[in-house]
Amino acid sequence: MTSSAQRAATVPDGPDHPVPRDPVPGLSQRPCVLRVSGLVAGYGDLAAVRGVDLEVHAGEVVALLGPNGAGKTTTLLTLAGELPKIAGEVRYMERPFKGPLHQRVRRGLAFVPEERSVFMGLSVADNLKIGGRSARVLAMFPELGPLLGRRAGLLSGGEQQMLTLGRALAMKPKMLMVDELSVGLAPLIVDRLFDALITTAREDGTAVLLVEQQARRALRVADRWYLLSRGVLAAKGNASDSDALWESYVS
């Protein structure tokens, strides 16, 4: 059994940004892009996540936080159509959100899974051609410009993640779901990637759902957060309610 001291030890991450702030006024009045009620999700009949309710509105960044094994990835994979749900309702633009990932992508979803999804054997330029919107990606991440002729497999982890995220954002998705963007990356790179999320939310009105273990860093860009603990929602709040988050993490 995990002690509260052990759980508390999973919380701190990254520098102490003096960030927590109130969300941009009026975000919760914008159209609800994703509305999840009573979601039960898991593997076969085994529920790893039970009774999750959450909403993501146009133009806001929402973080789904929690320690290892809390059920964050299971939730995200289910919302993206990669895992069948066991029960509950998922609505997208107020209509049922059903079918496999490729059908949801046609309705404006972009999904960035935990493992980097670039074509490792192709050059950066060819990876961008497949996406078809290279100018926008290069405007977002200019450091990819000098690397256009390089094979994606030879890029650093951070550069690969810029390519992955840039391609997803270049589609101007209505909804972006991102799983653990920060894994294995230097803090400065993570900040660049997270900044791109908030810019896209604000400028394109994209609804962003960000799964993240580095809670402190995620709160730097999130407007609101939900905390998952052992498969259930333990707490939720605005970025400025971070005390409630830390308290729930250790309780």
Residue 89 to residue 95: CA distance in whole angstroms: 10
70 to 99, contacts with ligand ATP by CB under 6 A? Answer: 70-74
Residue 48 vs 109, nearer CB to ligand ATP: 48
Which residues, at least 6 apart from 1, have a Cβ–Cβ distance to it below 8 Å?
A: none
40 to 59, contacts with ligand ATP by CB under 6 A? Answer: 43, 48
Residue 216 to residue 214: CA distance in whole angstroms: 6
Residue of 20, 66, 81, 158 that binds ligand ATP (CB under 6 A): 66
Size of the site for ligand ATP (CB under 6 A): 11
Is residue 64 a contact residue for ligand ATP (CB under 6 A)?
no
Distance of CA 152 to the CA centre of its chain: 22
Residue 76 to residue 205: CA distance in whole angstroms: 20
Smallest gap from Cβ 249 to ligand ATP, in A, equals 13
Quick one: how many helices (H) and strands (E) in the chain?
Answer: 9, 10
Our CA angle for 171, 173, 176, nearest 5°, is 120
Is residue 213 a contact residue for ligand ATP (CB under 6 A)?
yes
Q: Are 60 and 223 contacting, i.e. CB atoms less than 8 angstroms apart?
A: yes
Cα separation of the two ends of the chain: 14
Smallest gap from Cβ 106 to ligand ATP, in A, equals 26
Residue 153 vs 157, nearer CB to ligand ATP: 157
Smallest gap from Cβ 194 to ligand ATP, in A, equals 17
Among the candidate windows 61-69, 104-112, 199-207, 215-223, which touches ligand ATP by CB under 6 A? 61-69
The sheet carrying 32-43 orders its strands as 46-57, 32-43, 85-92, 95-96
x/- binding map, residues 159-198, to ligand ATP, per CB under 6 A? Answer: ----------------------------------------
Is residue 216 a contact residue for ligand ATP (CB under 6 A)?
no
Residue 23 vs 71, nearer CB to ligand ATP: 71
The sheet carrying 232-238 orders its strands as 109-112, 175-179, 207-212, 61-65, 224-229, 232-238
Token pair listed for 84: 């069948």
Provide φ and ψ at 222, rounded to 5°: -80, 145
Among the candidate windows 19-27, 69-77, 196-204, 236-244, which touches ligand ATP by CB under 6 A? 69-77
Among the candidate windows 64-72, 123-131, 152-160, 219-227, which touches ligand ATP by CB under 6 A? 64-72
Smallest gap from Cβ 43 to ligand ATP, in A, equals 4
Smallest gap from Cβ 76 to ligand ATP, in A, equals 8
Residues that bind ligand ATP (CB under 6 A): 43, 48, 66, 68-74, 213
